Amino acid sequence: MNKAEKNSYLKALVMMAFFLSMFYISMIFLPNMIKNEVSELVAKKDEAAKLEVQNRQIETIKDNYQKLEKNVDEISSTIIKYSEISNFITEVKDNVVKQTGVELNMSSREVYDIADSLAYIVYDINVQGEFSEIMYFLDYMEHLKYRNDIEDITLSNTSGDTINMRANLKVYIWK
């Protein structure tokens, strides 16, 4: 072998040694690097999945809020202002008696607070009339513009076809 062949053979050995050392170094560090990258990708994937769930929850909350917001005006309009309660009671007494044919006596008992600006007043009511008139009275009350509940109904037969109904009328008010 001449000198030129020895140099080229030596260069080839040096290059081979270099590539082998690089290969061994990469075999030592590359798996750890790949493992770290995979761990980061898995963590980011999990975080993305959590964010997607949160995003869906936020969209659901927005949809529910929009539905409720549409109902706020409707609900608010069914609750009478405290300053208008006497007009409401007068209207109920006048119109109910005219339209249903019953005799109606009312007396207020107490005001109960529900929230800072919401309450209800309980009235003791005594209604006399025929059974059909009392049923018409209950139907009329159920379909009034303002929110009210009739509770603790007691019916008794007074004389002939006349029935006496005692109950509590709960009227919701804005304070």
What total number of domains does the chain contain? Answer: 2
pLDDT at 47: 92
Q: Which residues of 65-99 are buried (b: 16+ CB within 10 A; e: fewer)?
A: eeeeeeeeeeeeeebbeeeebeebbeebeeebeee
Q: What is the pLDDT along the chain (175 residues), one digit of tens a residue?
A: 677 777 777 777 778 878 777 777 767 776 777 777 778 888 888 899 999 999 999 999 988 888 877 777 777 778 888 888 888 888 888 888 888 888 888 888 778 788 878 888 999 999 999 989 999 999 988 888 888 889 999 999 878 888 999 999 998 888 7
Domain membership of residue 26 as a residue range: 1-77
Domain end marker among 77, 97, 126: 77
Same domain? 70 vs 132: no
Rounded distance between C-alpha atoms, residue 75 and residue 104, angstroms: 28
Q: Residue 166: which residues within 8 A CB-CB, separation 6 or more? A: 124, 125, 126, 127, 152, 153, 154, 156
Domain end marker among 77, 101, 130: 77
Cα-Cα end-to-end distance for the chain: 112
